[in-house]
Amino acid sequence: MGNGKIYVVGIGPGSEEDITPAVKKAVSIADAIVGYKYYFSFIQFLVKADAECVDTGMRKERDRAATAFDYAEQGKTVCVISSGDAGIYGMAPLIWEMKWERKSEVEIEVLPGISAFQKAASLLGAPIGHDFCVISLSDLLTPWEKIERRIQAVAIADFVTAVYNPKSDGRYWQLHRLKEIFLKERSAVTPVGYVRQAGREEQEVVVTTLADFDPEQIDMFTVVLIGNSQSYNYQDKIITPRGYYREMTHGDGGRGSKPGQEIMIRSFRTIASELKHPDIPLDRKWALLHTIHTTADFDMENIFYADEGAVETVYNALSGGKVKTIITDVTMAASGIRKGALERLGLKVKCYLSDERVAEMATRMNITRTQAGIRLAVEEYPDALYVFGNAPTALMELCLLMRRGKARPVGVVGAPVGFVNVRESKYMLKSFEDVPKIIIEGRKGGSNLAATIVNAILCFDDAEQLLPGRDL
């Protein structure tokens, strides 16, 4: 009797529509189907009536391969089935190894299938649009030390990463370790998606971020996909741009790019990866990243203060039309606020230093011109966003007027700089618990910092995707 043939096929993730025509044909003509019994239910409708279905049990891959050769060497057509693609953590390598070992004349044909990570990727949007890799966390055949080195390598190399065999009853900590390694090399807002039982009735699709990703929600039937530094979330999907729109957009949902935006994006992601304390609320982190980007000073982590939800609260008030005016203490702070953002949100910035009434008031009342400017501003715009990047006396004036109930600002940016009354002015501001405030503590500050904090507020809707620079 002549030798038969072994088809090594991938039956896809589990749904009929994901089985390729070539695989369907191979299964339908096979005299014997060899595989793990769980997978037979997905192809039973294709198996001819007199075909034998042989289950060798879980973790019996060598027995499975030997059985296939035994049948094929009797002249039979055999189909060895794997879920997904047979060449990806499937039976194809083992079948070819055994052919070499047995010096068998049996013909082998490998028929590709849709891999679980491909199916998961399609359900998650387009996360594998650029260079990617696939890693298995199973240490049954590969020592954990080697797996961890590979995890570190791909995290550093910025590959989109698909994770197979992420967790089991006996392997519960490895995925936690992977997350820990990735957080050292990737931004906390890196998109992460996972799909449980892809293509099957129990299918579940989740999109989150690296920081919020919970390994405890994962089981053995789940594929995890981690984006690269350019990946972003859009309409609850993950998109990893290839670069086709590099000259017009930056993977930013279709917005036109501006000169320098790509550099700013890369800078922000570098900063995010180097933060000592990355696990902070998104709105605070967004403004903090802006301050570090402006100063190249990581001491901002220690001196940047923001009330809980302050950035988001002020953004909602400004973008929602509740407040339409921003008041600055000096013209330099006003000039640093991006005009594109102001136009986009329909806002105006006012600085009263050049108002002809200021000089007269300052002389008459023996106060600084910035103090006088704030007094006039409060009379006309008591609920504005107030921004201080230079004059502590102006901030102290606003605090006094708030204390007297004359000023009700939607928020305050307190970043005056200097050596006299600077700390004190910030202490005063901090005492107003009902006013959203962002403060550069201590002596540091400046108009550039005040302006960049305002810019962070005005583009807070870009924070989740970590895409700064829209209004450059």
Query: Mean pLDDT for the chain?
Result: 92
Burial group, residue 167, by CB count within 10 angstroms (0-12, 13-18, 19+): buried
pLDDT (tens digit per residue) in 204-217: 999 999 999 999 99
pLDDT the model gives residue 247: 45
- The answer regarding whether domain 261-462 maps to CATH 3.40.50.10230 reads yes
Please, are residues 105 and 6 in contact by the beta-carbon 8 Å criterion? Answer: no
- What is the structure's pLDDT at 230? 85
- Distance between CA 316 and CA 444 in Å, rounded? 28
Residue ranges, CATH 3.30.950.10, the chain: 117-239
What's residue 470's pLDDT? 85
CA 257, CA 398: separation in Å to the nearest integer?
Answer: 38
* String of DSSP letters for 395-442: HHHHHHHHHTTS---SEEEE---SSSSHHHHHHHHHT-TTS-EEEE-T
Q: How confident is the model at residue 258 (pLDDT cuts 50, 70, 90)?
A: low
b/e burial code for range 207-235 (CB count within 10 A of at least 16 → b): bebbbebebeebeebbbbbbbbbbbbbbe
Closest CA to 114 of 223, 238, 19, 233: 19
Residue 431 structure tokens: 């005492």
Give the whole-angstrom CA distance, residue 323 versus residue 409.
Answer: 9
Q: How confident is the model at residue 329 (pLDDT cuts 50, 70, 90)?
A: very high
Angle at alpha carbon of residue 163, lines to 158 and 165, rounded to 5°:
160
Residue where the block lists tokens 């049954």: 140
- State the average pLDDT over residues 336-340: 95
Is a pLDDT exceeding 60 seen at residue 125? yes
pLDDT at 201 over 50: yes
Neighbouring residues of 282: CB distance < 8 A, sequence distance ≥ 6 = 189, 463, 464
pLDDT for 14 equals 83
**Mean local confidence (pLDDT), 32-48:** 92
Please give the torsion angle defined by the CA atoms of residues 287, 290, 265 and 213, in that order, rounded to the nearest 10 degrees.
Answer: -30
* Residue given tokens 């990893």 in the structure block: 240
CATH of domain 5-114: 3.40.1010.10
According to DSSP, the β-strands at 437-440 and 304-306 are antiparallel
| Biggest distance spanned by C-alpha atoms of the chain | 115
> What SS3 string covers 113-169?
CCCHHHHHHHHHEECCCCCEEEEECCCCCCCHHHHHHHHHHHHHHCCEEEEECCCCC
Strands 77-82 and 107-111: unpaired
The CATH 3.40.50.10230 portion of the chain extends over 261-462
Range(s) within the chain of domains with CATH label 3.40.1010.10: 5-114
Which percentage of the chain shows pLDDT scores above 70? 96
Residue 191 main-chain phi, psi, to 5 deg: -65, 140
Q: Is there a contact between 31 and 51 (Cβ–Cβ < 8 Å)?
A: yes
pLDDT computed for residue 240 by the predictor: 92
Residue 120 CA to residue 84 CA, distance in Å, equals 11
Catalytic residue among 130, 250, 290, 293: 293
Architecture of domain 117-239: 2-Layer Sandwich (3.30)
Q: Active-site residue 130, yes or no?
A: no
pLDDT digits (tens, 9 = 90+) for 154-182: 999 999 999 999 998 889 999 999 999 99
Asked whether residue 245 carries a pLDDT value surpassing 60, the answer given is: no
pLDDT tens-digit map of 58-68: 778 999 999 99
